[in-house]
Amino acid sequence: MTMHTVVSDVLVIGGAGSAVMSAVSALRQGASVTLVSKGKVGKSGNTIMIGGSFGIDGESARSFCGEPEANQEYTRAKLFHKLVTSAFQIGDQRIERHFVDEAPRAVAELLGWVKDSGQIFKFMPKASRWRTSGRAFGNALRHGLKAHPAIRVFEDTMVTDVLTSGGTACGALGFDVYSGQMTCFKAKSVVLATGGYQPFSLQNSISDMTGDGIAMALRAGAAAVDMEFLLFIGTILEPFYAKGSLLPYLLSIPAMFSLRPKMTALDGEELPFPDDPRYRVKPADAKVNKLLMAYFYGKGMWPNWDTYGNAFYYDYSAYGDEEIRQAFRAFADSQKSWHRPGRYHRIDLQQLAGDIIANRKRLKVGFGNEYSMGGVVVAPTFATDVPGLYAAGEVTGGMFGAFRSGDGLTEMLAQGATAGKSAADFARTAPQAEADDLAAKVAWLEAPFARQEGLSPVDALAKLHAICDRGFNFYRSGALLARAYAESQELRASLDTLALATSSRHYNLEWMQSVMVRNLALCAEIGLHAALERKESRGTHLREDYPEVNNRDFLLSYTARIQGDALQYATRAPQEVFLPLDRHNYPTVADCIAQTILENA
Amino acid sequence: MKVQIMKSTGMQEYQVPTLSPSMTVMDVLDYVYTHLDHSLAYYRHSACNQGICARCAVKLDGKTVLACAAQVPEDTASIVIAPSSDKVVRDLVVDRS
């Protein structure tokens, strides 16, 4: 097959917030820019999957974003402190500071696109947050991109590898998913804005959250960090028409849904959440509840993990049928600015209320992985270790450390703006180099077509999900992690035998998955290795055999990179750039949250 | 349940178990792809599966629906799934540019 070639100064890979902000920012610096997205811009990526809001500090919401009622007690200093403590101190304080400093300008730019495109974002002054929907956010991004027609856009194009010349990034290889046509995107610098990784069968994220950017960066020579930290959130398991919805998290917020369910194991045993003022969260810190819920409910679920696995009930049996129907009517009413009447995305809320009532007033829920804190190691300029290669948004590590209580949407806008500028600065003096690894990358991509028989990517992906469901879930033990790590190594080794059911290159889903499963397996193996080594609990890494937050021995991050054909692991300690580090241990993650995050909120 | 899918090579028939009383068309397609026919082309890349991205349109018994949002009635004995337009790329995937 012939290879198409596209040349530009800066290549941006991704289809949502980080990518659009990076592209616009690079263009503003005078660079010629190409943006390549696996799906449709603004209709793909995890951005469109958001539950409903994002924010910045109250001072900046007033001064940069024209919100006079914004809560002035939620200061820049408080936001920074929250980011550092929520990361359980292993975030990069320079990148956390960048978030506080640069997000207001980037959010203000987005709000301009929101206004111009007629999307609805509603400001909540007390929490200093804007309520919206994923669709509205995506539409605003799409508008922002269209407002800059000089950016060349390739959609439904899957990038499979960063290309290098003498160790410097010089473009990427990709193919059009409909025609299979391969393209060499030549560039003087490259920005990865491709999102995180999610290796479990329960999906609440976009379908392809397969760590593509992280794996591409690793193969190009960059490092990854904090890959054991995955954020989980209540996600519907049944009924099937609602499976994967993040609705349970919204239903747990008193301001959004009036009924308070009892959480129970599948056998009806209550999963306790202590009624303790130490765990009460303020509106601006509401996301801390995600981790508290995983901690307390996970603790209750763990004794029966072998029997019931990752499943529990939201039990509304304390309420009458009409109370339940009415609560869902009121919730639907609160959502009508963004959803069709009576619906939350695809879900008919009265049908759901009826099915909950019919199921003895219970909604079956599991903890689904919505965000990965770990990712590519970046400097405060968002440069990776590979010259010419930059990264922004969820694909990076260092911003949220062990737990994200800040907003991924805000992160991607702020980091995208800086990464795009840095990449354009680099491109100004860099040559347009010829890749020295194009042939090898093409061979890697095409290898599954050449095999007559072998492992199907579909089956490989199912195996990987099963391994991670069992051993790498939101509650962990050394024994299960050790088994999952060994299985993941074995699986990744078997991916050299991938073969496809059809040789057609026209929308060959198996071919796409042959790339994605290789990326995801690499990310999962690195995450499992770090999770096994980290013999403590910290943030979203909840170990039943090591419940203590052990700052004396584990105030560090695990990093990984590829050397030769092997993964090499190392550790790095966080630096006290702005705030001193707390070296005390805490008996549990919940105690650490109460004493370091909520007490100072 | 008998599931007939209009593939590029012609109508293909599959037997799909009722996994739940509230299966969506996407659940049916996922089952066929995962367990019966890895060669099936249906819109599944960068997909939200929540009715947000609106890219998974197919015809269910002649009516255009989003595969992720359309439910298959519980007692259905057979369904026909076809591409949503004549501009077929392969199987159920159409050119929507």
Q: Within 13 Å of residue A173, how many CA atoms lie on the same side as its CB?
A: 24
Nearest-CA residue of chain A relative to B53? A43
pLDDT mean over A537-549: 98
Q: How confident is the model at residue A581 (pLDDT cuts 50, 70, 90)?
A: very high
Cβ–Cβ pairs < 8 A, chains A and B: 110
What's the farthest any 2 CA atoms get from each other in chain B? 36
Residues of A in contact with B94 (CB under 8 A): none
**Residues A277, A322 within the same domain:** yes
**Residues A141, A80 within the same domain:** yes
Give the rounded percent of residues in chain A with a pLDDT score beyond 90. Answer: 93
Q: Do residues B29 and B40 touch, judged by C-beta distance below 8 A?
A: yes
pLDDT tens profile A268-316: 999 999 999 999 988 778 889 999 999 999 999 999 999 999 999 999 9
CATH fold, domain B2-94, is Ubiquitin-like (UB roll) (3.10.20)
Q: Do residues A168 and A157 touch, judged by C-beta distance below 8 A?
A: no
Listed in sequence order, the residues at least 6 apart from A22 whose beta carbon sits closer than 8 Å to its beta carbon are A12, A14, A191, A193, A390, A392, A416, A417, A419, A420, A423
pLDDT mean over A168-183: 98
**Which one, of B63, B17, B69, B61, lies nearest residue B43 by Cα?**
B69
**Residues A485, A447 within the same domain:** yes
Nearest-angstrom CA–CA distance, A124 and A70:
8
**Residues A127, A140 within the same domain:** yes
Q: pLDDT value at position B52?
A: 85
Q: How confident is the model at residue A2 (pLDDT cuts 50, 70, 90)?
A: confident
* Residue A344 bridge partners (DSSP): A347
Listed in sequence order, the residues at least 6 apart from A436 whose beta carbon sits closer than 8 Å to its beta carbon are A164, A165, A166
Within a domain: A470: yes
- Number of domains composing chain A: 3
Range of weakest confidence among A43-47, A324-328, B69-73:
A43-47
Within a domain: A588: no
Q: How confident is the model at residue A601 (pLDDT cuts 50, 70, 90)?
A: low
Q: Which residues of B touch A (CB under 8 A)?
A: 19-24, 27, 33-34, 37-42, 44-55, 66, 68-69, 71, 89-91, 93, 95
pLDDT mean over A111-138: 93
Residues of A in contact with B84 (CB under 8 A): none
Backbone phi, then psi, for A222, in 5-degree steps?
A: -85, 170
**Residues A489, A350 within the same domain:** no
Nearest-CA residue of chain A relative to B31? A458
CA A118, A124, A127: angle at the middle one, nearest 5? 140
**Residues A171, A83 within the same domain:** yes
A122 has a pLDDT exceeding 90:
yes
Q: How confident is the model at residue A255 (pLDDT cuts 50, 70, 90)?
A: confident
Range of weakest confidence among A438-442, A521-525, A551-555, A596-600:
A596-600
Q: pLDDT value at position A207?
A: 85
A600/A447: higher pLDDT: A447
A263 has a pLDDT exceeding 80:
yes
Q: Within 13 Å of residue A539, how many CA atoms lie on the same side as its CB?
A: 32
Q: Is the ipTM of this complex over 0.85?
A: yes
- pTM equals 0.97
**Residues A332, A480 within the same domain:** no
A445 has a pLDDT exceeding 80:
yes
Domain boundary residue, one of A324, A346, A369: A369
Report how far apart, in Å, the C-alpha atoms of B73 and of each of A344, A491, B59, B77 are: 20, 38, 15, 9
Of B54, B55, B90, the CB nearest to A506: B90
Averaged confidence pLDDT in chain A: 96
pLDDT mean over A148-170: 98
Q: pLDDT value at position A10?
A: 98
Within a domain: A221: yes
Q: Residue A380: is it exposed, middle or buried by C-beta count within 10 angstroms (0-12/13-18/19+)? A: middle
Q: Do residues A424 and A190 touch, judged by C-beta distance below 8 A?
A: no
Listed in sequence order, the residues at least 6 apart from A13 whose beta carbon sits closer than 8 Å to its beta carbon are A19, A35, A36, A37, A159, A172, A190, A191, A192, A193, A194, A213
Domain boundary residue, one of A369, A391, A420: A369
Element (H, E) at B29: helix B25-31
Q: Within 13 Å of residue B7, how many CA atoms lie on the same side as its CB?
A: 18
Element (H, E) at A549: none
> Can you give the residue range of the structural domain that contains A273?
231-369
Domain ranges of chain B: 2-94
CB contact under 8 A, A44 and B42: no
Give the rounded percent of residues in chain B with a pLDDT score beyond 90. Answer: 78
CATH number of residue A480's parent domain:
1.20.58.100
Q: How confident is the model at residue A424 (pLDDT cuts 50, 70, 90)?
A: very high
Residues of B in contact with A509 (CB under 8 A): 33, 40-42, 44-45
Within a domain: A417: yes
Please provide the DSSP assignment of A406-460 as one string.
S-HHHHHHHHHHHHHHHHHHHHHH---PPPSSHHHHHHHHHHHHH-SS-B-HHHH
pLDDT tens profile A33-69: 999 999 999 888 888 877 778 999 999 999 999 999 9
Q: Do residues A374 and A229 touch, judged by C-beta distance below 8 A?
A: yes
Domain boundary residue, one of A436, A455, A478: A436
Within a domain: A63: yes
Residues in chain B: 97
CA A299, A301, A306: angle at the middle one, nearest 5? 125
Within a domain: A219: yes
Residues in chain A: 601
Of B21, B46, B71, the CB nearest to A207: B46
Q: How confident is the model at residue A173 (pLDDT cuts 50, 70, 90)?
A: very high
CATH number of residue A132's parent domain:
3.50.50.60
CB count within 10 Å of CB B74 equals 10
Determine the residue among A40, A178, A209, A343 to mutate to test chain B binding: the one whose Cβ has the most chain B Cβ atoms within 10 Å: A178
Q: pLDDT value at position A494?
A: 97
Within a domain: A512: yes
Backbone phi, then psi, for B90, in 5-degree steps?
A: -165, 135
pLDDT tens profile A232-241: 999 999 999 9
pLDDT mean over A401-408: 93
Give the rounded percent of residues in chain A with a pLDDT score beyond 70. Answer: 100
**Which one, of A210, A229, A194, lies nearest residue A527 by Cα?**
A229
* Residue A158 bridge partners (DSSP): A175
pLDDT tens profile A466-513: 999 999 999 999 999 999 999 999 999 999 999 999 999 999 999 999
pLDDT tens profile A341-393: 999 999 999 999 999 999 999 999 999 999 999 999 999 999 999 999 999 99
Residue A543, SS3? strand
* CA A458 distance to own-chain centroid: 23
Nearest-angstrom CA–CA distance, A146 and A113:
10
Within a domain: A591: no
Of B33, B38, B45, the CB nearest to A208: B45
Range of weakest confidence among A176-185, A453-462, A519-528, B14-23:
B14-23
Residue A300, SS3? helix
Alpha helices in A453-577 (DSSP H): 457-471, 478-494, 509-533, 551-554
Please provide the DSSP assignment of A308-333 as one string.
H-S-EEEE-TTS-HHHHHHHHHHHHH
Alpha helices in A210-254 (DSSP H): 212-220, 247-251
Q: Which amino acid is at A305?
A: W
**Residues A158, A19 within the same domain:** yes
Q: pLDDT value at position A1?
A: 67
Of A45, A244, A502, the CB nearest to B50: A244
CB contact under 8 A, A241 and B71: yes
What are A444's two structure tokens? 């890697």
Contacts 24+ apart (CB under 8 A), A332-337: A334/A256, A337/A120, A337/A122
